[in-house]
Chains A and B, each alone.
Chain A
Amino acid sequence: MGIDRTSPYLKVPASARWRDSMAGRSPESINPHAGPSFLLGAGDRIASAGSCFAQRISESLRARGYNYLITEQGPPFVDEAAKRELGYGVYSARYGNIYTVLQLVQLFQRAFGRFEPQEPLWTNGEGRFVDPFRPGVQPGGFASESECLWDRASHLKAVRRVFEEADVLIFTLGLTESWVSADDGAVFPVCPGAGLGGRFDPERHLFHNFTLTEVVEHLETFLALLAEVNPSARVILTVSPVPLIATFEPRHVLQSTVYSKSVLRVACEEIIRRHDHVHYFASYEIVTATGDTRRYFQDDRREVADEAVAHVIDCFGQQFLGGDAPVAAPAPPPAAVAGPSSNKPLCDENEILKAMADLAASSTTA
């Protein structure tokens, strides 16, 4: 019995049919988007934030000569490689990685004076000072408390400009698991005492795994806040394909990863259905579902392979940049300046892994 000519199946585009868009295709030929929803213009000021995977997108935009908005440039005499080490130009401002949506909301609130967390500055092993809300931006820590606070004030001023001036904000959602202050609900990007400074206090530092409802609510809150200061800004949401480094739920890390990514992915869906100016880019799908995971992840099954990143960037170009053509003289990408050894995103979680390895090594040798 054949399909009836009236069947809606016959009217869906090829990209909607698995057989035409997925079956038998090489991973790199798959673009899990139906077509461009809008194109970034050469003059559009594009800002970005999010988990470490978001750095790949910002690098690509800068490399292609797009007007990537950077409001916190760093000392002018510092070269690109050193700036990157110091967290300048990695994102639009020097906020480091933003893993959860509530962290983004609170960054906005702090920048506009609507929230002042009670968490004091952290100190690291060398007695230097660390900003708990961007602990990885100053390797080795700040020299003094006053320097750290001065830098924070200047940073938040730069953050205000990001939200006020961006035409497009790309936000990569990374995690649902987080560490929250019992004092006032301030969200930390990393657990205190996990290698980037501070001391963990179980009375004050609480684990929390955000629910779908909470993530959607946080996204709504952020969009409302952004609209207050920048009504015309568009937003692109993506979900990082990088699995959790560890889970604090009493279960296997793979289960927690799938939960977390599922919540984030569904939250994005909820939001783009509600807001026309918010778009979704399928980074997560490109990396996890188009190829075999042995090619698109490194041997640790966590770090995304360069091949997969190239695929993501290529799709991003087709989806938002109108193909590959650069629209302006390309700026050298930070990675190109820094050389191959710096060609990895600056991930707080990697610092935690390193700290754990160092601790294990010192325990073994002690």
Chain B
Amino acid sequence: MKVEVVGRPTTIHLVGESHCVQFSDTLARVPGAEETLLCRVRYLREVTASNCDATFQQVLDALKAEGVLDPGGNADWLVSDVNAVYLSGRPMLAPPIVFFMGDVDLQTLFQLLRDEYDFELPDDPGYGVDRNKTPMPLAAVQQQIEATYRPFEAMLQALRPVFPRLMVHGLPPRTPDDAKAARWTGGVTVAAAVRSKMTVLANRRLAGICAALDIPFLDTWAETSLDGYLHPDFELDGLHLNQRATAVSLSAIAAALYDHTAPTHNPFRYQLLRIAAPPYDGPRDEAAERDWSARGIAIGRLDPADTRRWASGLSFDAGAANPAAHPHWVGYPRGGRPGVATARLSSERLEAAAASLGSPAARRLFQAGEAMDYGQVFLRPIALDPGQAAAADLPTPLECRRALVCLDDGGAVELETTEGAAIQTLAAREGLLVVYDPRRVRCRARAEASVARFAEIGLAHRPASHPFRVVAPGLCDWPADPFHYTVKDAPAWPPFAHDLVHERSPA
């Protein structure tokens, strides 16, 4: 029998309450992409949002069982054997983990409430209030929900630093059928409006926790509800959603994978990238070396004529979406970067940019204070309207640095320390190049009386096997794993030989 290999899906770990069970071993294809998602489910029947401080070990055990944690309790994606990673043909990225938590606690609250209490929901979408019931002050309900979810919040806080692709799934809408719902509250009937309003508040709380921790909150309420209650098309048993709803949730998960890439780069792989880089043996600039050492800045000027070759007459698109958004790249969401217009670079322009940015004038500044070769330049032209300012605001991987090139006269480049102390403001002149260490310095481009154009640059080391290269990944900044990433939507000069960069990193 001959089999056909169909690919390597991305594993999504769904962990927590019974709502995750519907996803067991589900395969899903991301529309318009080659990505396939495989759902691995860990139903933790004893773990709830309110007790996951006491049951945290069960969560860790589940993550160990899934290989997310190694037997020693370390995050596997950070400590995996690099050869094994290479052989696996995958990027070394944090696993996507989706938590389903908070509904068991809510059902317990319903059970206590019986059908005697009601409360006013701010911004009530139409549930109303039964004033014949005993009122509960909103503040009391909110306090209770907050207290109930505090252990879950603490657990997310503990996991988030090592698992930057955590997600939290929202609680589902409630069935309007009180009798069906009572099956899950020990036979206690609670009015659908009250159950729903409590759930709305609980979801608001979960969303707040997620926002504070920069974790995507998967909100499928709009898609799975009808007039504020569970849409009959998705109802299974008075509480759980049926198989059809998994597609809705997986769409939200996929969207988060594409839109929430900012925290996903692998810091250790970037350290290995520096090890893999050849030494830089080009010219150096003594003033730039001193400035870098003192302030984390190197300032100089490219030949304006060279800059013009790749930057004049660019066509900028305000509010452009980011079609290149991809889990392999740290970048802006698919919706784009509000307020900043960007331009695409043709092959010809990229070639000119590679010549300009590979010139000694540029390299001297790129390499200030650094022995290994910054041979990968990620380039993005931007245009700012009069009075507008922009700063590169996505995280910068370890060992990488950033730069800004002025493409016109006019406008300004403002430099300040990361603590907010002003360092220097430079009048923008065509070809002005400012290289800076984003761990020490914040750099803001500002347009003044007229539209100002700049180029935002990310500098990463190059593996010895790669040439000096300029890449234009649009609204993406860096590969999340610098040894494994797609370059299908990232034009470059010299061009990549394949759509996928897949390198063996140093051990």
Contacts and interface: CB of A to CB of B under 8 A. Distances in A.
Interface in B115-141: 117, 119-120, 122, 129, 131, 134-141
> In the complex, which of the residues B113, B114, B131, B134 has the most CB atoms of chain A within 10 Å of its own CB atom?
B134
B349 to A, nearest CB: 56
B427 interface: no
A224 interface: no
A78 B119 CA distance: 14
Interface string A124-160: 0000000000000011101110110011011000000
Given A75-B113, A154-B134, A86 B140 contact: yes
Contacts of A77: 109, 112-113, 144
Contacts of B137: 86, 138, 142-143, 147, 151
Nearest to A86: B140
Contact of B131 (A74, A140, A142, A150): A150
B143 interface: yes
Given A75-B136, A86-B140, A150 B129 contact: yes
A143 B123 CA distance: 12
A154 B140 contact: no
A82 B141 CA distance: 11
B104 to A, nearest CB: 14
Interface residues of A, number: 19
> In the complex, which of the residues A75, A138, A146, A147 has the most CB atoms of chain B within 10 Å of its own CB atom?
A75
Contacts of B147: 82
Nearest to A76: B112
A75 B201 CA distance: 16
Nearest to A139: B139
Given A75-B113, A76-B112, A144-B120, A151 B135 contact: yes
Contact of A75 (B122, B131, B141): B141
Nearest to B110: A77
A147 B141 contact: no
Contacts of A154: 134-135
A138 B139 contact: yes
B138 A143 contact: yes
A150 B140 contact: no
A338 to B, nearest CB: 14
Contacts of B117: 75-76
B135 A143 contact: no
> In the complex, which of the residues A77, A138, A142, A143 has the most CB atoms of chain B within 10 Å of its own CB atom?
A77
Interface string A69-112: 00000111110001000100000000000000000000000000
A291 B275 CA distance: 81
Interface of A: 74-78, 82, 86, 138-140, 142-144, 146-147, 150-151, 153-154
10 contacts: A75-B140, A75-B144, A76-B117, A77-B112, A77-B144, A78-B143, A82-B143, A144-B120, A151-B137, A154-B134
Given A75-B113, A143-B120, A147-B135, 16 more contacts: A74-B140, A75-B136, A75-B144, A77-B112, A77-B144, A78-B140, A82-B140, A86-B137, A138-B137, A143-B122, A144-B138, A146-B120, A147-B120, A151-B137, A153-B131, A154-B134
Interface of B: 109, 112-114, 117, 119-120, 122, 129, 131, 134-141, 143-144, 147
